[in-house]
């Protein structure tokens, strides 16, 4: 058996360099998916919207949730930030916390203001939650999700949707 020529040994070395180079590129591509744009897919906040039906006569807005079901696995709280457009003042309300989850599509919450006793029972707090100002057209309700998505390094607060009140709020 004749020993391998120097030329054939060099070819093997070049092949090894090419194979190691391709392996390094594959690992770099995989790392980019995990750390780069792929991480956003894994750690994204839920997708949701809220529809609002404002009744100026009773001073209430009925909010209807539409979107991903929120469970206590990733969600800590679903909150509302109601802003009085005239005074630029906000009130934060809790729609659901860990003890009142899940929130599913079709779930509703009624927010009222303290000026109208809509059901005539002597209490001006007729909704599920109440703000300390009169609700009027132009006021806004922001739906905020607070939680830690699977794989996320820390808790996040994300505004999922905002409704501006008007006589035809949807």
Sheet of strand 108-112, all strands in order from the earlier edge strand to the far edge: 48-55, 60-67, 108-112, 129-130
pLDDT of residue 38: 45
pLDDT of residue 160: 95
Any alpha helices (H) in 95-143, and if so which ranges? none
pLDDT of residue 90: 95
Q: How far apart are CA 75 and CA 161, in angstroms?
A: 16
pLDDT of residue 40: 45
Which runs of E-coded beta strand occur in the chain? Answer: 48-55, 60-67, 75-84, 89-97, 108-112, 129-130, 140-147, 156-164
pLDDT of residue 25: 82
Three-class secondary structure of residue 22 per DSSP: helix
Please report the DSSP string for 131-156 in residue order. -SS---TT-EEEEEEEE--TT-SS-E
Three-class secondary structure of residue 21 per DSSP: helix
With tokens 């996040």, the residue in question is: 156
pLDDT of residue 147: 94
* Contact in structure between 144 and 50 (CB atoms under 8 Å): no
pLDDT of residue 149: 84
From first to last of its 170 residues, the chain has per-residue pLDDT tens of 555 555 555 556 777 788 888 888 887 776 665 555 544 444 578 999 999 999 988 889 999 999 999 998 899 999 999 999 999 899 999 999 999 999 999 999 999 988 888 778 888 888 899 998 999 999 999 999 999 987 788 899 999 999 999 976 44
For residue 143 the two structure tokens come to: 């739906």
* CA R_g for the chain: 28
């Amino acid at each position: 058996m004749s020993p391998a020529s120097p030329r054939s040994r060099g070819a093997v070395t070049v092949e090894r360099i090419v194979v190691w180079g391709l392996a390094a590129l594959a690992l770099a591509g995989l790392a980019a998916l995990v750390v780069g744009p792929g991480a956003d897919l894994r750690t994204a906040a839920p997708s949701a919207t809220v529809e609002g039906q404002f009744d100026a006569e009773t001073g209430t807005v009925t909010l209807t949730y539409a979107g991903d079901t929120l469970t206590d696995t990733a969600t800590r709280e679903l909150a509302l930030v109601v802003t009085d457009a005239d005074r630029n003042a906000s009130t934060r309300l809790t729609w659901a916390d860990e003890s009142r989850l899940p929130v599913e599509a079709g779930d509703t919450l009624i927010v009222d203001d303290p000026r109208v006793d809509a059901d005539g029972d002597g209490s001006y707090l007729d909704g599920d939650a109440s703000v300390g100002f009169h609700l009027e057209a132009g006021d806004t309700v922001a739906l905020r999700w607070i939680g830690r998505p699977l794989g996320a390094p820390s808790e996040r607060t994300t505004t999922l949707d905002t409704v501006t009140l008007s006589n035809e709020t949807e």
